Structure 1
Amino acid sequence: MRLRPYQPGDWDAVYDICVRTGANGEDARGHYPRDALLPDLFAGPYLALEPERAFVLDAGERVVGYVLGTADTPAFVTAWRERWLPRVAGSHPPPVASPRTAEERLIALLHRPEAQLFPELAPHPAHLHVDLLPEAQGAGFGRRLVETFLTAVARAGAPSLHLGTGSGNLRAVRFYERMGFQRLSVAGVEGATYFWRSTAVSGAEG
């Protein structure tokens, strides 16, 4: 398997992986009326707005993993509203009332990217998402993807980064802890665990 920079032709593969790992690491296909909802939130904006910070794991015949994110979350949120939301808003109309279902909460986040800007995360401006299909897990590729991303955002000037994962995704929680990420308390957040760490690759543990 080869780790390489994202290319425009990888778009569909990244979207597919995002859905197949979107339920706390398990397959989320069919969980929502439109499978594109999850990648329109957690993959598409990054591929469209900061493709230079996206990397994929190429197994030869197909892409089986990726890491993507931003070096500057506040600037990214602004670009999301100005450049990404107009592309996808018609496919996911905002709820007419306060969100009640999981789908409505995701759509509300799509339309209000500013909800990502928690004060506790401000000191750690970069953030990432990393996903691997089952056949690529457990062989060190996740670590390589994250370290590649850390190097990329460090070069862009980000001293540290944050990320969030579902509290029920114990495999991901253990992975980040092994990589030297530290838990970060974020007020008012339920069902997610946040972490932060320096972008210095030499600081990785385990």
Structure 2
Amino acid sequence: MPEIRSYRPTDRAAVADICVRTADNGGDSRSLYPDLDLMPSIFAFPYVDLEPELAFVLDDGERAVGYVIGCAATPSFARRWRIDWLPRVPQYGPLTGPPETPTEQMIGLLHNPERLVIPEVADYPAHLHIDLLPEYQGAGHGRALMTRLLNTLAAKGVPAIHLTMLTANTPARAFYDRLGFHHIPVPGADIVTYLGRSTSV
């Protein structure tokens, strides 16, 4: 039976693999982003490196097959991303012009951590990413991972959390709705949707 435990540095490769295999609107992103370090360098590694105490994995007995990761205070996390994280990924230098490919679009996101700081979600200071391999979805593991993170944040005195999801990912939206997340209106947001909830379980 898979179990939830704290992230360990030895989980890094498995976390990267999960990220890559779920990064294209919930599906495998390898054909879209052939550099297999790119998506983890944006959506996973900054979190497990900068706030490992808020990283939890679902372990099937051999390796991590899912994870939930996050930060407690988004504005300070964005500052640490710029100061502490970007120097660790020099292979992804800043763009010199407008992005022209999917990879360049992602590199643009990497170099713009301030995009995470949205005034409309200021009352939901924490934010998260959660991903599970397809064969482990729909069995309650996502809810259990989320509960672990919410309880940890609540114990730290963090009152609320938000997340950003692609609006087109309707299965993900149904999952978050079941977990008690609600829509946070953000002007101009159409491709993405902002959701939030209290950390109280």
Matched, 1:41 2:54: no
Match of 2:183 in 1: 183
Aligned length: 200
Return the alpha-carbon distance in structure 1 between the equivalents of residues 148 and 105 of structure 2.
Answer: 31
Query: Post-superposition shift, 1:192?
Result: 1.0
Q: Take 1:125 and 1:105, find their aligned partners in 2: how far apart are those partners?
A: 26
Contact 1:71 1:157 (8 Å CA) reproduced:
no
Q: Secondary structure at the match of 1:188?
A: coil
* Residues in 1 aligned to 2:21 and 2:163: alpha-carbon distance in whole angstroms: 20
Question: How far apart are 1:144 and its partner, in Å?
Answer: 0.4
Cα separation, partners in 2 of 1:95 and 1:190, compared to 1, 3 Å: farther
SS of the aligned residue for 2:99 comes to coil
4+ runs deviating over 6 angstroms: none
Partner of 1:135: 135
Unpaired runs of 5+ residues, structure 1, are: 202-206
| Residue 60 of structure 1: how far off its partner (Å) | 0.7
Match of 1:99 in 2: 99
Matched letter for residue 72 of structure 1? A
Give the Cα–Cα distance (whole angstroms) in 2 for the partners of residues 101 and 117 of structure 1.
Answer: 25
Q: 1:190 to 1:94 in 2, by over 3 A?
A: farther
- Counterpart residue identity of residue 8, structure 1: P
TM-score by length of 1: 0.94
CA distance in 2, matches of 1:133, 1:119: 32
Aligned equivalent of 2:7: 6
Q: CA deviation at 1:98?
A: 2.3
Unaligned runs of 5+ in 2: none
Superposed, 1:83-162 pairs within 5 Å as 83-88=84-89, 90-162=90-162
Separation of aligned partners in 2, 1:180 and 1:190: 21
Residue type of the alignment partner of 1:50: E
Counterpart CA distance in 2 for 1:100 and 1:187 is 25
Counterpart residue number, 2:26: 25
